[in-house]
Structure formats: C-alpha cells, structure tokens
Chains A and B, each alone.
Chain A
C-alpha cells in the first residue's frame, strides 16, 4: 500500500507563499487548496474555498482586501495563470500584491451553463479572445464596489474613485473589503466598458513575474502525473503498435503471478470512432505500482491484427505525396486559371518540392490520467488544455450524468497545441479500468507508448512553382500541398494542408493554391502553431529561392512584396534596422530571414549560423521581431518566444518520427533526440507593436519563422538548399 502524503504536509504545502524566502521579492503566491486537497481525498470541488465574498464567478474579495482570482484556464508554462490574474486585476484596480489565484471549477462551469465562457486554452487565444470577459469581470466588480460605496455615502457612482483597492469620494475612503458584501448585491443597468488603450493601463503591459514559478523550483507543483489518492492502483497500457490494429488475444496467465499484479483489462475501440479522445484496442495491466504494471506488460504475450496499415511507411507516403503534386487538388482561396498559363509561357521559372515528416508533441509530462469512479460521482485528474473536456469524455465513456463528474485542475507539463495528454484516449482508458475494478486508477503511458500513440503532426509534401518577371519579381505562383492526416482530415484545428502557404501576404499578381488530403491511420492533431509550423518552412524557404533567382536581396524582396501592408512593413523594417542582415559573409557563415504570420501575430526571424567544412551546424542566434498589436506581459511573452523558437528548431533540426511497417520506430529520446541545451541558439525578442485593435497571440507565432530562417542562412553559408527536415539528415559539408 502506498503511503499518502500526510495531512501535515498538506497544510504546509497547500498555502505556498512565494515569499521573501525565495529572494525574488515576490510576495504573492499561487494558492491551490483544491488541487492539493483533492490529491489527497476527492471531494466536491466548490468555489467557496477562498475566504470572502464572491462578486462574480471570477473573483472573491476578502475583508482584509485579499482578492482571489479564479483561473478558468490551463497553466502549461505559457503564463496563462498570471495573464488571467493581470487582466482581471487591471480593471478591478487592485494592488498586485493582494492577488491570490485558484483554479476555477470546471463542474460549476458546466452546471451553470458555461459560466466561465471558455475553459479551453489553445490557439494562443487566452489573451487574444478571452480578454473581453476577463477584463469585464474586473470592471464589473469595480463598478459594483463603487455603486455600493456611492449608495452608502449618498453620492453618485461617478464621484467615487476606485484605485488600488481603495474607494474614495471627497474625504470619505473605504477599502474594497469593506464594501465587498454590499457590492455582491448590486445590479448595474449596464456592464461597464473595458479599457483596451495601452496608454491607460497601469498593470497590463508591464513585465510581471509569473505567479506559478516559485512552485516549480521546489517540486511542489502538482501535475496530473503526480496524483495520489487512497486505494489507487496503477495501470500501464499498450495499444496496437500499428494504430487502430485489432487486439486478437493476450495471455494473462503468463504474468499473473508476478508481484503486485491485479488484472489485465482489454480495451476496445468503438467502430467508426477514430476522433481525438477515442479508444483504440489496447491491453492494460493493473498492479499495485506502476513499475510492476509496466514490467509485467512488457512480458505479456499479445497478438494483434494490424491489417493493411502495416504496409505503410514514411517513404511510401512521400512517394504518394510527390505523385499528388501532379494532380489537381482542392483550391484554397480563389481560382486563378491565368496562374498556370503565365508560368507555362514564362522564360524564367523556379520550382521546388519540400517534404517534412511526422512529428510528436513529446510533452515532458507523458500521457496519463487518473480516474476514480464511485457510485454517485466520478473524479478526474487529466493533463488537459481544456478543463471542461474531460467531463464530457468521461461522462460519455461511463454513461453517467456530466454533472456528477469532477475535474481537478492541476498544472500541465507541456501543452504545445495537442490538448495535453488528455487529448488522447487515456482518459477513457482510466475511466473504463476504474469502472471495472471499482478503484481509483492512474494510467501512465511509457515514453515509447506516448511517442507511438499520441496525435502527430502530419507528414507533408508541397511543390511550389513561380515565374519570374523582368524585374526579378514573381509574376505568378502556383502551389500544391499534401499531408497524410487521419482518414484524410481536411482541417486540423484552423489549418489545412497548405496553411502557411496559401495565406502568405506577398503581392504576387497571379496565385493558385491547391491541396490534397492523403489518408493515413496515424492519429493527427493540432501542434503548436498548426500549419504555420510545418508549411511555413516550405513557403518561406521558397520565398528565398524566388528572391535569389530574381537577383533580389531576400529582405528587400519581402519589403517590396508587402508594400502598402503597414504592419508587415513595420516588422520587416524593424528587422532590417536591428538584425544587421547581410548576404556577403565568408563561406561557412550565413544569415537568413523568414516571416510567418499566425494567430493574429506577424513574426519575422533572422538566423545567424556557422557551418564547419565538415558540415557541423551551429545556430548562433535567432532574432525575432513580432507584431502582436499589444503585449500584456512582456516577460512571459519573451519567454514564450524563446520557447517557441526552440520548439520549432527541435523538429526542424533534430526531430522526425519515422514510420516503418505502419508503426513509429524512434519512440524515445535516444532516437527521437530533440534539441538540447548545447544546440540551443541565443534568442533575442523584439516587439514591434502596431497597436490598433490587434490582440495577437504569443504562445506560438515566434516559432514558425525560425526553421526557414535557419535553412535560408544555411544556403548562404554552404550554397546548399535544404528542402526537407530534419536538417540533421543533410550533408552540410562544403569546400
């Protein structure tokens, strides 16, 4: 029997004060009583944990003026927790040192008809799309406090000022805490406007230390992976190595007498259901510890029927993809028949085919879930980017009322656009096993299972062709792209197989963009900056090919081709001023640039690389210039840009999942050996903000321009044009 963290431990750790003890001058903490308490003994998660008066679903004000802000979003390292708190606090106008945070209750959200509007966290949307209601929650509370004071003091609401937690009218003053109870009863004729003018902000726009950091330097931050509940058993799971294969048989007798083994549970796919969180055929071995379960599973004889999928491979998909480059596809945007005609009759034509492999999220927190099914309630701990999603998934799996499903929010050990590990079938696996065994179950996938079975970024191929006019600029651009997506999905998140290509902003007089969806059995899903990541590399490498073929400097080409588009001009001009981009460095050194727009943000990068004669690549520096309109926390935004660059280079330089006989063969960090500290470039981030009404995302956009910038730099350093990834597979040597 496992030991459970003691109550004493709990009380010490559940009020973590990021105090002067950690030396950063941080006086506030992240308060997570429910997450931790729930880790010990599940109970109905309620929103009455914070002391004080609830003004609205997002905030509670205590008599001592402490304000608790409820976070309806996932904190996966992107600073979302802090961003939510800042957006609410800006409008409420309260001393930042008085802020505490706690997770919002997903079950309440469901019961009260989506009270928090949105609980998912993806698409760099938190600030971009959720700021109106988050700022609105702060503004609504502030005006109610003012109204409560106005009524008590017999003055107009307009005469009351609310600032840093204090209400003032004439010579009267009171704290927010004093009027919190009265404010909760106030009804306003109309909700106040929010202020989106950065010039008027007092908190937003200032570099702010993230609130979750202190918990992440001492082992106290809890992830789904760390869940421990009384009586919990552990499961290791193996799905068909060729995804969607059929389980024929297994021999439990072979492992049954191993230490701690409790059961083997077969899991079955539901015919016709191959979507995001659906079950595949799999076997789970359940034991008293995860290590026992895993060891026994490795020894369990299992027979599968892989079907025709076992004949597929990356090589075959590339071949099929290249064939599709000669076939008409679906048209993205509008049809322009002149495009092909102009190219056919042009004196100068540039054409190139690009290829990229499958890639995995490879979140450091492996896929896992803990579910406890009891007669009257179900408790779930899931590594998810959408706290409300596991409720529906589990309710569906078990056939129970969603209102009786409780999700306990915890930190997420990496999101990267795939909805965390919870976006796989793991939550259903845990629900099913817990139901059958009538015990709380923690399912953990091995890293091998994680890389083989999570939802991948599709393999893709694109062929781009341009005719070049007498001035060296393109007269027409024709592109065809293909990806291998699950059952031929046409769209993944917001992306199609040519997103990142068809939407380039350059003013080529004639353009036609076509796309294909090739069917695979490999589960597909969104990845950080979907589409822009994979195909942005192809488009922006080809832009350099076009520019160079026409005798243009690639940066001047981009400036020329975006004339009249003010925000693009701002970004390119800033890059030109800051990067010192040049094309005349000695051989072995090179600079390259690229620009990809995604999530409402324009991001341009300049890479500086060194390549030894023998072909050893060093990426010295990546400078990124971004226009996200406005930036609410420059510190967290800069961290996200550094991380996004590393993320994309991981795949482009060192990644590449290889499919052979229908299954992935490099499924741990020895063979899928992603970017490490000694390969990481220095990243410098510059915000060139155009302002206006633009609220661009910043959790993803800095990444996509990095790989093409590097490939373009490698061209200048070596004369070699890289048209596929990972770069590590290319011979970069030169003489």
Chain B
C-alpha cells in the first residue's frame, strides 16, 4: 500500500504493508539507518524518534499511523550536529559503541524540549527505557545536565 510520510521535513513516498513498523520503513525502505533495532518490543529505546515532537518508539508505530505526523529521526535532529544535546554528547564523550546513542539522544532531546531543567529523577524516568549495554549511563546523566544548561543559556 502506498503512503506519503513526512520525515525530517521532507515528503517521502513508501509502498509497504500498512502494519509495517515505522522502524523498518525508515531503515530498509528510506535508508535512514541512524534509527536502530534492538528489541522490537518497546523495551530498549534504540529506535526512539520524535513524532510531532514527542519521543516515540518507531518499532511500535505502524506505517499507516504515521501519515500526517511530523516524524523526526536522528538524521533530522540538526543539519550539522549542532543541537545542544549532540554538542553535550560530544563534549562529555558519551558514546562508546554508539549503537544505542541515536535513541538516547532522541529521548534526551524530547525531554529537554518539554522540561528545560529536569531533575535527576525526571531524567532517569525519561531515559529508563533506553538500554545501553556499554554502560554509558553516567555520562548520559552528565551530558543531559550540560545540554540543559546550554539550552537555558541560549
């Protein structure tokens, strides 16, 4: 079935079964491989994207349900890695293997869009679904605090 989706501000035609998870549409049909598969059951957060500005798990969204929504992936978060969360991630040196990091960054940036200055408990709650097997959590906490101060100063 043919759909027209809006991804990173651009219209995209895709032809898939309507129930195909957006994750696989992004990765295999459109070629935006920054969004990752980790579990397929909403328990790892590697596939986190923004749907109308809210963090959402692309493995749980059917392609047909994405029509008319504003979809943002890691590739569209900024044109040049200039989003304060991306900057903070580089400065603190968060990523190790990096595989989970698109999802981490998308969750963190959605949180900071809602709450400029979140408490540690709010950060932990917002990031608890994002699994990182390399164990970068400590630096994720630091980087979110740094990004928060960047956003407040801006």
* Alpha-carbon distance between A5 and B124 when the two chains are bound, in angstroms: 36
Minimum C-beta distance from A431 to chain B (A): 21
Minimum C-beta distance from B59 to chain A (A): 10
At the interface, yes or no: A76 with Cβ under 8 Å from chain B? yes
* Alpha-carbon distance between A362 and B135 when the two chains are bound, in angstroms: 12
At the interface, yes or no: A220 with Cβ under 8 Å from chain B? yes
Which residues of B, 17-51, contact A by the 8 Å Cβ criterion? Answer: 17, 20-21, 24, 27-41, 43-44, 46
**Interface bits A638-650 vs B (CB < 8 Å: 1, else 0):** 0110111111001
At the interface, yes or no: B56 with Cβ under 8 Å from chain A? no
At the interface, yes or no: B140 with Cβ under 8 Å from chain A? yes
**Interface bits B76-115 vs A (CB < 8 Å: 1, else 0):** 0110111000110111011111111110010000000000
Contact of A677 among B39, B80, B127 (CB under 8 A): B127
**Interface bits B1-12 vs A (CB < 8 Å: 1, else 0):** 000000000000
At the interface, yes or no: A273 with Cβ under 8 Å from chain B? no
Minimum C-beta distance from B151 to chain A (A): 13
Residues of A within 8 A of B102 (CB): 219
- Interface pairs (14), CB distance under 8 Å: A2-B31, A3-B29, A23-B91, A217-B90, A217-B105, A234-B28, A364-B36, A364-B97, A364-B99, A411-B98, A414-B97, A447-B41, A639-B93, A643-B135
Residues of B within 8 A of A220 (CB): 34, 75
> With A77-B97, A643-B135, A677-B130 given, is the CB distance from A2 to B29 under 8 Å?
yes
Cross-chain contact B128 with A366 (CB below 8 angstroms): no
* Alpha-carbon distance between A5 and B28 when the two chains are bound, in angstroms: 11
Cross-chain contact A289 with B95 (CB below 8 angstroms): no
Cross-chain contact A635 with B93 (CB below 8 angstroms): yes
Cross-chain contact A289 with B98 (CB below 8 angstroms): no
Cross-chain contact A639 with B96 (CB below 8 angstroms): yes
Minimum C-beta distance from A457 to chain B (A): 14
Binds B, one of A338-346, A570-578, A665-673: A665-673
Cross-chain contact A290 with B131 (CB below 8 angstroms): no
Cross-chain contact B133 with A416 (CB below 8 angstroms): yes
At the interface, yes or no: B55 with Cβ under 8 Å from chain A? no
* Alpha-carbon distance between A415 and B98 when the two chains are bound, in angstroms: 12
**Pairs A-B, 3 closest by C-beta atoms:** A219-B34, A646-B135, A77-B96
**Interface bits A683-711 vs B (CB < 8 Å: 1, else 0):** 10000000000000000000000000000
At the interface, yes or no: B154 with Cβ under 8 Å from chain A? no
Residues of A within 8 A of B34 (CB): 218-220
* Alpha-carbon distance between A219 and B137 when the two chains are bound, in angstroms: 19
A210, A219, A678, most chain B CB atoms within 10 A: A219
At the interface, yes or no: B139 with Cβ under 8 Å from chain A? yes
Minimum C-beta distance from A60 to chain B (A): 26
Contact of B43 among A18, A214, A644, A668 (CB under 8 A): A668
Residues of B within 8 A of A218 (CB): 34, 74-75, 77-78, 81, 86
Minimum C-beta distance from A412 to chain B (A): 6
Minimum C-beta distance from B96 to chain A (A): 3
Minimum C-beta distance from A451 to chain B (A): 10
Residues of A within 8 A of B32 (CB): 219
> With A642-B138, A645-B135, A677-B124 given, is the CB distance from A447 to B91 under 8 Å?
no
- Judged by DSSP, the binding face of A is loop
Count of chain B residues with a beta carbon within 8 Å of a chain A beta carbon = 65
Minimum C-beta distance from B55 to chain A (A): 14
Cross-chain contact A209 with B138 (CB below 8 angstroms): no
> With A259-B17, A415-B97 given, is the CB distance from A644 to B91 under 8 Å?
no
Contact of B95 among A217, A222, A645, A650 (CB under 8 A): A217
* Alpha-carbon distance between A647 and B97 when the two chains are bound, in angstroms: 13
Cross-chain contact B31 with A4 (CB below 8 angstroms): yes
Which residues of A, 341-381, contact B by the 8 Å Cβ criterion? Answer: 362-366
* Alpha-carbon distance between A362 and B38 when the two chains are bound, in angstroms: 10
* Alpha-carbon distance between A685 and B75 when the two chains are bound, in angstroms: 34
* Alpha-carbon distance between A291 and B59 when the two chains are bound, in angstroms: 11
Minimum C-beta distance from A631 to chain B (A): 16
Cross-chain contact A647 with B21 (CB below 8 angstroms): no
Contact of B86 among A22, A668, A674 (CB under 8 A): A22
Cross-chain contact B81 with A366 (CB below 8 angstroms): no
At the interface, yes or no: A225 with Cβ under 8 Å from chain B? yes
B29, B30, B41, B96, most chain A CB atoms within 10 A: B96
Cross-chain contact A209 with B38 (CB below 8 angstroms): no
Minimum C-beta distance from A589 to chain B (A): 20
Cross-chain contact B39 with A447 (CB below 8 angstroms): yes
At the interface, yes or no: A252 with Cβ under 8 Å from chain B? no
* Alpha-carbon distance between A77 and B96 when the two chains are bound, in angstroms: 4
At the interface, yes or no: B66 with Cβ under 8 Å from chain A? no
At the interface, yes or no: A676 with Cβ under 8 Å from chain B? yes
* Alpha-carbon distance between A615 and B73 when the two chains are bound, in angstroms: 41
At the interface, yes or no: B71 with Cβ under 8 Å from chain A? no
Residues of A within 8 A of B31 (CB): 2-5, 228
Minimum C-beta distance from A139 to chain B (A): 29
Which residues of A, 556-606, contact B by the 8 Å Cβ criterion? Answer: none
Contact of A678 among B74, B91, B128 (CB under 8 A): B128
At the interface, yes or no: A154 with Cβ under 8 Å from chain B? no
At the interface, yes or no: B61 with Cβ under 8 Å from chain A? no
Which residue of chain A has the shortest Cβ distance to B129 in the bound complex? A676
* Alpha-carbon distance between A300 and B103 when the two chains are bound, in angstroms: 32
Which residue of chain A has the shortest Cβ distance to B75 in the bound complex? A219
**Interface bits A254-275 vs B (CB < 8 Å: 1, else 0):** 0000010000000000000000
A216, A363, A444, A640, most chain B CB atoms within 10 A: A216
* Alpha-carbon distance between A149 and B134 when the two chains are bound, in angstroms: 46
Cross-chain contact B138 with A668 (CB below 8 angstroms): no
Minimum C-beta distance from A277 to chain B (A): 21
Which residues of A, 52-94, contact B by the 8 Å Cβ criterion? Answer: 76-78
Residues of A within 8 A of B74 (CB): 218-219
B34, B97, B138, most chain A CB atoms within 10 A: B97
Which residue of chain A has the shortest Cβ distance to B144 in the bound complex? A677
- Taking A23-B91, A218-B34, A414-B134 as known contacts, 7 extra A-B pairs with beta carbons closer than 8 A to each other, sorted by chain A number, are A5-B31, A217-B101, A291-B21, A364-B100, A415-B97, A642-B139, A677-B127
> With A218-B86, A643-B136, A647-B133 given, is the CB distance from A289 to B97 under 8 Å?
no
Cross-chain contact B98 with A212 (CB below 8 angstroms): yes
At the interface, yes or no: A24 with Cβ under 8 Å from chain B? yes
Minimum C-beta distance from A46 to chain B (A): 25
Cross-chain contact A23 with B87 (CB below 8 angstroms): yes
At the interface, yes or no: A413 with Cβ under 8 Å from chain B? yes
Cross-chain contact A210 with B81 (CB below 8 angstroms): no
Residues of B within 8 A of A214 (CB): 81, 90
Residues of A within 8 A of B46 (CB): 364
Contact of A78 among B33, B43, B96, B136 (CB under 8 A): B96
Cross-chain contact A363 with B90 (CB below 8 angstroms): no
* Alpha-carbon distance between A26 and B33 when the two chains are bound, in angstroms: 25
Which residue of chain A has the shortest Cβ distance to B126 in the bound complex? A677
> With A218-B75, A682-B138 given, is the CB distance from A290 to B93 under 8 Å?
no
Residues of B within 8 A of A362 (CB): 133
Residues of A within 8 A of B28 (CB): 2, 234, 289-291
Which residue of chain B has the shortest Cβ distance to A221 in the bound complex? B98
* Alpha-carbon distance between A217 and B143 when the two chains are bound, in angstroms: 12
Cross-chain contact B44 with A364 (CB below 8 angstroms): yes
**Interface bits A200-218 vs B (CB < 8 Å: 1, else 0):** 0000000001101111111
Cross-chain contact A22 with B93 (CB below 8 angstroms): no
* Alpha-carbon distance between A667 and B140 when the two chains are bound, in angstroms: 26
Residues of B within 8 A of A397 (CB): none
